[in-house]
């Protein structure tokens, strides 16, 4: 749908729904929004962004450089509390830990996800780039496929999160929608927030876990729960849609890895992530 | 040097030097051996193996499936204490946290490294393999280069750890020894323990961080300190030397990633790791 006014960093759905409220030093309240669910579970990248916001407040450095998350139990929409610990503070980097808990009916807390993160200041880094990585070959935005392009690709059914995202997939990686997966274990496409908010380091934590799982392209159906997800944020993203390429090389023993890379509009590799997930049964 | 008797898993230098002694529930004493130092710092993979051994004791599942480590300060040979926390226990997986501390002269503890790890039982996994990954092209063991092959490659100077390892590097990735790095950011070779002990999941945690840094192949000199290292152990390794291939695609802003994969003698991808490191200045 057309946006009358483009949302901005700090004033958008994503910012409101990942807000944290300090309760006591290092402890934050949050409300997990039903707007970021896949089927009924809250998206793992959305959770990472909330934890990243809490740590950005708790630590002396603003930007997540590397975030390692271990997923413990499925999160539900509703209230949550985040408890952080400052592990080490240095001149250019600081390390913290954060856990997100939700409440059972009897008031006991259940831990949903725990992260270790090292933060720094992306704007303080030198501009040197000596990368051999090249952007993924993805057709132009208009040639990729979104939910409005008919049965292919209704990429997540009735999942609420699809209303918050503008994802358009490379036609080469959507064969699974019509029963013809490539078998390569690849997923590629364009990523933007639906309200037009540009990307920042916190929203990149959402971006790395937002596309359909590569297991679909391997011909597998069903849930691919994340066990662990580590993300490196390497540069502040430039405005405009992002390109995301995800690959799985090793499906074995009932588990698989997903390697994601995210490129911005000036062809900078702004994020790299890898997760270990349980393969569909 | 020739080994009169090949060491075995459970009775080897590696096992003795990574031993942990329970002090109280979840707390372990260890002695960091000077035998596993690079220049004067204790090798990061050796530390991971000690932490993995403590968690294997503390958690109900024996094998590290995914280990996320954030490095906080440089470790020195000498006594250390490991404090573990059981975060979650499930039927097939359990998650724990462990920190390694060393003592200052006044008795205060300094945290060296903190890990989040999810453990499972590799022997309980199904045998299915649907991988698109293929083993790295590395010349046969006898065509690769070790410390005895003259100036190339005296791969770590007087570092003690080189006496514990039998590493032979692919000639294509040792040009840096004679001032002619390939510039590709690659490091490949064969890995074994010098006393002939075969690999197990704990020694794989050492293997992923044992080769010279890819920054050498990029023409950079100096120290490449690890900020964070996450390792997935995907299968119990078969006996025999391992093949290790490490690549760096993105050197930017003063940081670089190193992606390592480890293959065993039956062509199984047994470990995958990625680290974020600070580039040499």
pLDDT, tens digit (0-9, with 9 covering 90-100), for A223-254 = 899 999 999 999 999 999 999 999 999 999 99
CA A148 and chain centroid, separation = 23
Cα–Cα dist B56/B20, whole Å: 11
Cα–Cα dist A245/A274, whole Å: 12
Say if residues A100 and A117 touch (Cβ distance below 8 Å): no
Say if residues A221 and A163 touch (Cβ distance below 8 Å): no
How many C-beta neighbours within 10 Å does residue B111 have?
A: 16
Residue B157 has pLDDT above 60, yes or no: no
What is the residue-averaged pLDDT of chain A? 93
Cα–Cα dist A189/A148, whole Å: 15
Which value does ipTM take for this structure? 0.95
Label residue A130 by pLDDT band (50, 70, 90).
Answer: confident
Among B48, B70, B278, the residue to mutate for chain A (most A Cβ within 10 A): B70
Mean pLDDT of B26-30: 98
Cα–Cα dist B121/B158, whole Å: 38
Mean pLDDT of A198-204: 98
User: Does A255 contact B129 at a Cβ distance shorter than 8 Å?
Assistant: no
Give residue-wise pLDDT tens across range B43-92.
999 999 999 999 999 999 999 999 999 999 999 999 999 999 999 999 99
Mean pLDDT of A39-55: 94
Longest dimension (CA), chain A: 55
Longest dimension (CA), chain B: 55
User: Does A250 contact B126 at a Cβ distance shorter than 8 Å?
Assistant: no
* DSSP code string of B78-107: EEEEEEEEEEEE-SS-EEEEEEEEEE-TTS
* DSSP code string of A220-249: --S---EEEEEEEE-SPPPSS-EEEEEE--
Q: Which of B88, B185, B235 sits opposite A72 (nearest CB)?
A: B88
Mean pLDDT of A128-147: 92
- Please tell me which residue, B264 or B178, carries the higher pLDDT value: B264
- Interface check for A227 against chain B (CB to CB < 8 A): the answer is yes
How do strand A226-233 and strand B94-103 relate by DSSP bridges? unpaired
Q: Which residue of A has its CA nearest to B93?
A: A227
Residue B2 has pLDDT above 80, yes or no: no
- Interface check for B187 against chain A (CB to CB < 8 A): the answer is no
pLDDT value, residue A249: 96
Say if residues A250 and A256 touch (Cβ distance below 8 Å): yes
- Report the percentage of chain A scoring pLDDT > 70: 95
Q: If DSSP codes are grouped into helix, strand and coil, which group holds residue A210?
A: coil
Tokens of A148: 């409005």
Handedness of CA A47, A50, A53, A58 (dihedral sign): negative
- Report the percentage of chain A scoring pLDDT > 90: 85
- Interface check for A72 against chain B (CB to CB < 8 A): the answer is yes
Label residue A162 by pLDDT band (50, 70, 90).
Answer: confident
* Integer angstrom CA distances of residue B139 from A140, B93, B210, B221: 41, 38, 19, 26
Helix (H) or strand (E) holding B51: helix B44-58
Say if residues B100 and B89 touch (Cβ distance below 8 Å): no
Cα–Cα dist B119/B59, whole Å: 8
pLDDT value, residue A153: 46
- Minimal CA separation from A158 to chain B, in Å: 30
Cα–Cα dist B176/B121, whole Å: 40
- Interface check for B130 against chain A (CB to CB < 8 A): the answer is yes
Residue B34 has pLDDT above 80, yes or no: yes
- Minimal CA separation from A132 to chain B, in Å: 5
Residue B153 has pLDDT above 50, yes or no: no
Tokens of B230: 């996450």
pLDDT value, residue B1: 47
Label residue A147 by pLDDT band (50, 70, 90).
Answer: confident
User: Does A95 contact B114 at a Cβ distance shorter than 8 Å?
Assistant: yes
- In degrees, rounded to 5, the angle at the alpha carbon of residue A106 between the alpha carbons of residues A102 and A110 is 30
Label residue A152 by pLDDT band (50, 70, 90).
Answer: very low
- Interface check for B238 against chain A (CB to CB < 8 A): the answer is no
- Interface check for A128 against chain B (CB to CB < 8 A): the answer is yes
Mean pLDDT of A175-204: 96
pLDDT value, residue A115: 98
Q: Which residue of A has its CA nearest to B134?
A: A249
- Minimal CA separation from B236 to chain A, in Å: 11
- Interface check for A236 against chain B (CB to CB < 8 A): the answer is no
Give residue-wise pLDDT tens across range B196-231.
999 999 999 999 999 999 999 999 998 899 999 999
Mean pLDDT of A259-279: 97
A14 Rama sector, left if φ>0, alpha if ψ -120 to 50, beta otherwise: alpha
pLDDT value, residue B36: 95
Mean pLDDT of A21-46: 94
pLDDT value, residue A5: 77
pLDDT value, residue B75: 95
Mean pLDDT of A119-128: 95
- Please tell me which residue, B241 or B223, carries the higher pLDDT value: B241
Residue A58 has pLDDT above 50, yes or no: yes
Residue B151 has pLDDT above 60, yes or no: no
Residue A139 has pLDDT above 70, yes or no: yes
Cα–Cα dist B258/A272, whole Å: 11
Say if residues A250 and B269 touch (Cβ distance below 8 Å): yes
Partners of A66 in beta bridges? A118, A232
Most confident of the ranges A3-17, A29-43, A183-197:
A183-197
Residue A24 has pLDDT above 50, yes or no: yes
Which residues in chain A are contacts of B95 at CB distance < 8 A? 70, 72, 114
- Minimal CA separation from B99 to chain A, in Å: 10
Q: Which of A68, A97, A125 sits opposite B228 (nearest CB)?
A: A68
Q: Which of B161, B19, B252 has its CA nearest to residue A263? A: B252
pLDDT value, residue A1: 47
Q: Which of B125, B129, B249 sits opposite A131 (nearest CB)?
A: B249
Label residue B173 by pLDDT band (50, 70, 90).
Answer: very high
């Amino acid at each position: 749908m057309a946006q009358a006014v483009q949302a901005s960093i700090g004033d958008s759905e994503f910012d409101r729904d990942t807000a944290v409220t300090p309760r006591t030093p290092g402890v934050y309240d949050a409300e997990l929004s039903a707007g970021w669910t896949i089927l009924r579970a809250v998206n793992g990248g959305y959770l990472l962004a909330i934890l990243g916001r809490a740590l950005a407040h708790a630590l002396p450095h603003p930007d997540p450089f590397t975030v390692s998350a271990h997923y413990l139990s499925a999160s539900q929409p509703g209230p949550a509390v985040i408890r952080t610990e400052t592990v080490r503070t240095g001149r250019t980097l600081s390390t913290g830990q954060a856990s997100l808990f939700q409440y059972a009916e009897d008031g006991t807390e259940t831990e949903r996800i725990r992260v270790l993160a090292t933060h720094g200041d992306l704007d303080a880094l030198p501009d040197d780039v000596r990368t051999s990585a090249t952007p993924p070959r993805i057709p132009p935005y208009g040639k990729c496929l979104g939910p409005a392009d008919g049965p292919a690709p209704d990429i997540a059914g009735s999942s609420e999160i699809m209303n918050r995202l503008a994802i358009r997939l490379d036609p080469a990686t959507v064969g699974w929608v019509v029963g013809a997966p490539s078998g390569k274990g690849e997923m590629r496409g364009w990523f933007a927030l639906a309200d037009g908010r540009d990307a920042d380091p916190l929203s990149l934590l959402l971006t790395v876990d937002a596309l359909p799982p590569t297991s679909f392209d391997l011909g597998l159906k069903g849930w691919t729960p994340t066990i662990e997800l580590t993300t490196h944020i390497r540069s502040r993203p430039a405005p405009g849609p992002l390109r995301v390429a995800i690959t799985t090389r090793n499906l074995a023993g009932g588990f698989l890895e997903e390697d994601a890379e995210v490129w911005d509009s000036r062809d900078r590799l702004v994020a790299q992530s890898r997760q270990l997930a349980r393969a569909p049964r």
